[in-house]
Structure 1
């Protein structure tokens, strides 16, 4: 069976296609700002967590849910959000998502108890699941020419990496200056700005007339992802061999298998099977899954490494990641011309190899590491690679997708990023911790054992980047 490529279709009619809207670049800036908030909120609370626990009386176990309560509904509801955007209009769902996200941020900042905060975080995640795929669909609708779309997707795709890199820095600055509530209140003026400007900058798109919404598919994909994330969360305290973890993994596998069966039989599936016939969509999502796993584990391990091994305080550790974020921005801006000249897949593969090289360099840092040589230089290299990788992967994952499926494709690639991050957080740091423990039990020096564990995390992330590069080059459309 040959793969089919779904091409971007423009509406037909007697009238000529209108010229591109001059306001589209301003619209892109606002859409990218909203996407920045969505990604930022997965990491900005990390440094604020100790203060939250003290003020709201949350136990260490409950504090982990300040992050999980956001990521879990975000990742599990993205596909449903994408399909709802395709059915009811991308602008309408985007505005609903940003309104819900802003309101939930106010509730989180004012939360008097831990329970209220966790509910607000869940509402933030659910709202993010509406606006993230809708925003990507709006970008693909606003920019129709190949060159403009490449530039636009470059800007939009770079936001994910920049938001993750900026989370630690902004979280430290805001918490130190204004308290933990500020990491939530910072979303409010931005959300109001987006709500006020998008109706002016982006024309409403018509809702797609369809039959029944695929509620069985939505229930199965949500349940499968909840079971998977729960299993990964339980693996850290109990180990992967624990009956609870094994049972949740088995349940997730069964639910995913049932999802495939249901989606094949559905008249209007939540995840159209035809999307995966497009090798670009398939490859883009596999790459995003691996990049997400490598990136989330990297930023977590790097933040802890800088504080534990290098002795930096939280704010200094965040500031030390500014060169990485700057390199990411530079690469994201330069990658569009490179894609035009050399092709999408070669640029993506080269970017991933650069990421792997930087991670390998970082993994080789000794106990008495020099910041400039062993940390600054490799993290700048990683930033350059991530900038190119995020832009190229996002473009690959939506390339050739029909306008009516743009929301589903956007939800799918965002889901891959979130689930990849969950997998990376559950596996790579656990491997590093196990290595450190084994070395300590064998009588090794504490500092050397700790650095060796961090090196294992960085090396594992590099291996994921190389695997993603291989998928990019091998998983091509059959001619």
Structure 2
């Protein structure tokens, strides 16, 4: 496929980066902002305990399933166009969700939000990776961008609690409407205009098999954890997903113009980052979920109190993002990732003992702070690695591949960890249920911390940083991205 023209640089890089960070913040917020509001949504609209989980799952299934296609369309049709389309989908679906009076309408709105995320995320990350020069400038841009997204995972719980308590659950949807409108207006003023769209280059068989396969895989994992793994639709969806994904890989290997060229994975930085991102989704993305349950179900916090309890986590994630930038400059992306992975595991080991029935915010504070530092530093470094050495005209696709790994990991990890946490809760109530719930959460957090360490094996496969030569020919500090020397020829 012919290369797309070079992406124009930004005229107002500071404001443009703020807009891209806003797009990432909206996506991350919508994962967790509904958590605290779920009891109020169930009571007001009439969800059953079984169907309520689909308020979260509908978003995850559509988001994860369409990321590959969203990334490819970003490269072919233009990143600003897809940014505007994604913001439009978010604004429309959020308005619909806030006005919903039946479960069907609310679930449709959440699914449409997920589709908006699948369109928006690859465009946003590709714009960061192409509009800022690789090295220090891109490291700083990715730090700000990643900080907005990582903080959004916990800030969503904070915002959800405040909005639900003060304005009602509808506000967790309506808050996106003015943000999306602002994003659409600002896009035309700040983001570089797209050139002519590339036509006739979409791999239709690959798109159909890949999108359907990933969607069914996430559906099977998410639905199986709630409905039971022996329900007929769960193994059927899983088996069909495996067949479709096998067909997808075959098409990508043999097709003329594949949706996801397998040669991308010869880039050691991208392939290593994808594995780290998958493990991060399997493990650390479940922490806000378990903290929400602990604060509400074990400690009995209100929606507002639960939201405020996440303030420490939000601040520590922000600090971790800034720490990651310093580490990347000093040790390269590889070293920053290894440090972040170790801090995540340490944080889980500190957090788990504090999750007890007689505990409090203080018993979890040390673990929450250290986990936040680890999440912030890892999140920034793993996206830095995913974009390193990727050709400019394939940045959207690389973003889609990496973010698909995150969503598959998140869906699978949450399903498995919830099963671990809820293993011994049958037939319990009252104080016995509180104590058993806390014990199950401790086991789940210990488990996710141990599994997170496996990401170090993938991080070790990233290229080592290479020293640059100064004007006098003597070695200087490691290259800012640390990983670019052998990657520009990987494709």
1:470 to 451, 454, 457: 457
2:89 to 61, 85, 100: 100
1:26 to 15, 25, 45: 15
Report matched runs for 1:63-462 at 5 Å. 63-207=52-196, 209=198, 211-240=200-229, 244-365=233-354, 367=356, 371=360, 374-437=363-426, 446-462=433-449
Please give the secondary structure, in 2, of the residue aligned with 1:343: helix
1:308: how far off?
2.8
Offset from partner CA, 1:45-88 (integer Å, 9 cap, x none): 12222222333233333322222221111110011011011001
1:202: how far off?
1.6
1:369: how far off?
5.5
Contact 1:296 1:421 in 2 (8 A): yes
Please give the secondary structure, in 1, of the residue aligned with 2:35: coil
Distance 1:117 1:419 in 2: 23
1:422: how far off?
0.6
Please give the secondary structure, in 2, of the residue aligned with 1:364: helix
Please give the secondary structure, in 1, of the residue aligned with 2:454: helix
Comparing 369-378 with 175-184, which one deviates more in the overlay?
A: 369-378
Q: Quickly say closer, same or farther: Cα 1:295–1:246, change in 2 above 3 A.
A: same
1:388: how far off?
0.5
Contact 1:271 1:408 in 2 (8 A): yes
Q: Quickly say closer, same or farther: Cα 1:203–1:181, change in 2 above 3 A.
A: same
Q: Quickly say closer, same or farther: Cα 1:351–1:132, change in 2 above 3 A.
A: same
1:402: how far off?
0.5
1:167: how far off?
1.3
Equivalent residues, number:
463
Please give the secondary structure, in 1, of the residue aligned with 2:257: coil
Contact 2:11 2:190 in 1 (8 A): no
Runs of 4+ residues over 6 Å off in structure 1:
none
2:477 aligned residue: none
For structure 2, list consecutive stretches of 5 or more residues without a partner in the other structure: 465-482, 487-491
1:106: how far off?
1.3
> What TM-score does the superposition give when structure 1 sets the normalisation length?
0.90
Distance 2:231 2:461 in 1: 36
Distance 1:161 1:435 in 2: 32
Comparing 52-61 with 128-137, which one deviates more in the overlay?
A: 52-61
Distance 2:168 2:99 in 1: 12
Please give the secondary structure, in 2, of the residue aligned with 1:41: helix
> What TM-score does the superposition give when structure 2 sets the normalisation length?
0.88
Q: Quickly say closer, same or farther: Cα 1:44–1:52, change in 2 above 3 A.
A: same
